[in-house]
């Protein structure tokens, strides 16, 4: 019931926004190339399915996001786990990691193109660099959230390294890890679109460039909507996995009530 209520609220909010948009364009007679009407954007949204082969670009962007996100999560969790376990590694690596993260990744995108070319690799590197940091922080904070009593219990029961990870450390770290995964997924979508915008010859980012350079505002707005849909789908996927794996957490139990 709560989920249905939220869905209705979202639909009403979007409908209200579209109504304001339509009234503004109609009353002030805004030129189409500056701000097209919702009907123009909707028509272009449908027409692009056949004319621009949106499904092809959609699949390319989603494959880039998935590949970069998975690799970024694996690398981020591994390094975050080691830093959270070994104090010496934290003191040695964190200054360099923070220094690397302060550099804006969007500004580094052209440099990645020079280093790795115009193909899939440069996009993948950019996505990984955007996903890595929030996942790593989530893993570090998750490891630090394990209580001293729990650590003593692991030693007393004589758990081996595999049992420690999968029975204690990973489950206790999941709330912080999923917080990092949510941020990382949004970062992955942004990085993919930016990479295609700069160096892509296909993908939704390429459609944004094409619509912008041809001054086709309806196409530009429709392409933005497609990118929003991609972001919502992937974020909803992470949220679904969070609800499945963290059903026991107090935050989920409070939401269920």
**What is the mean predicted confidence (pLDDT) over 149-176?**
82
Which residue, 48, 61, 1, 12, is CA-closest to 231? 61
Percent of the chain beyond pLDDT 70? 94
Sequence spans of domains, the chain: 8-51, 53-251
Q: Which CATH class is domain 53-251?
A: mainly alpha
Asked whether the beta carbons of 251 and 175 are under 8 A apart, the reply is yes
Looking at residue 181, its pLDDT comes to: 94
Looking at residue 128, its pLDDT comes to: 93
Pick 87 or 133 by higher pLDDT.
133
Helix (H, G, I), strand (E, B) or coil at 29: coil
d(CA 250, CA 12): 30
**What is the mean predicted confidence (pLDDT) over 150-162?**
80
- The tokens for 109 are 């995108």
Q: Could you count the other beta carbons within 10 Å of the beta carbon of residue 16? A: 10
Looking at residue 249, its pLDDT comes to: 63
Looking at residue 97, its pLDDT comes to: 82
**What is the mean predicted confidence (pLDDT) over 43-48?**
89
- pLDDT over 80 (residue 133): yes
d(CA 217, CA 223): 10
d(CA 256, CA 1): 10
- pLDDT over 80 (residue 15): yes
Give the model's confidence band at 255: pLDDT under 50 very low, under 70 low, under 90 confident, else very high.
low
- pLDDT over 60 (residue 184): yes
Looking at residue 30, its pLDDT comes to: 86
d(CA 228, CA 85): 38
Pick 241 or 255 by higher pLDDT.
241
Which residue, 98, 131, 101, 125, is CA-closest to 111? 125
Looking at residue 155, its pLDDT comes to: 80
Question: Among the ranges 22-31, 64-73, 83-92, 103-112, which has the highest mean pLDDT value?
Answer: 64-73
Give the model's confidence band at 248: pLDDT under 50 very low, under 70 low, under 90 confident, else very high.
low
| Model confidence, pTM | 0.86
Looking at residue 246, its pLDDT comes to: 78
d(CA 185, CA 177): 12
pLDDT digits (tens, 9 = 90+) for 93-132: 888 888 777 777 777 778 888 888 878 888 999 999 999 9
Residue linked to tokens 């970024």: 72
- pLDDT over 90 (residue 183): yes
Looking at residue 62, its pLDDT comes to: 94
- pLDDT over 80 (residue 76): yes
- pLDDT over 60 (residue 163): yes
d(CA 127, CA 185): 10
Buried residues in 166-202 as b, exposed as e (16+ CB within 10 A): eebbbebbbbbbbbbbbbbbbbbbbbbbbbbbbbbee
């Amino acid at each position: 019931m709560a989920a249905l209520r939220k869905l209705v609220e979202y639909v009403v909010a979007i409908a209200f926004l579209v109504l304001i948009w339509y009234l503004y364009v109609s009353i002030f007679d805004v030129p189409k190339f500056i701000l097209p009407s919702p009907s123009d954007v909707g028509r272009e949204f449908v027409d692009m399915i056949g004319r621009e082969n949106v499904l092809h670009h959609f699949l390319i962007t989603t494959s880039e996001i998935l590949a970069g996100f998975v690799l970024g999560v694996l690398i981020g969790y591994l390094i975050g786990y080691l830093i959270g376990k070994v104090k010496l590694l934290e003191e040695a690596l964190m200054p360099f990691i923070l220094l690397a993260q302060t550099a804006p990744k969007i500004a580094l995108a052209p440099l990645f193109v020079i280093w790795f070319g115009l193909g899939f690799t440069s996009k993948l590197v950019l996505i990984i660099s955007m996903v890595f940091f929030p996942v790593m922080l989530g893993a570090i904070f998750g490891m630090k959230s394990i209580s001293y009593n729990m650590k003593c219990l692991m030693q007393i029961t004589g758990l081996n390294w595999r049992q420690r990870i999968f029975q204690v450390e990973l489950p206790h770290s999941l709330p912080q890890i999923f917080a990092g995964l949510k941020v990382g997924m949004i970062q992955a979508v942004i990085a993919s679109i930016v990479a295609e915008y700069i160096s892509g010859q296909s993908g939704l980012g390429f459609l944004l460039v094409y619509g912008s350079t041809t001054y086709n505002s309806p196409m530009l707005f429709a392409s933005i909507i497609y990118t929003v849909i991609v972001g919502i789908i992937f974020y909803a996927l992470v949220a679904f996995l969070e609800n499945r794996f963290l059903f026991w957490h107090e935050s989920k139990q409070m939401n269920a009530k």
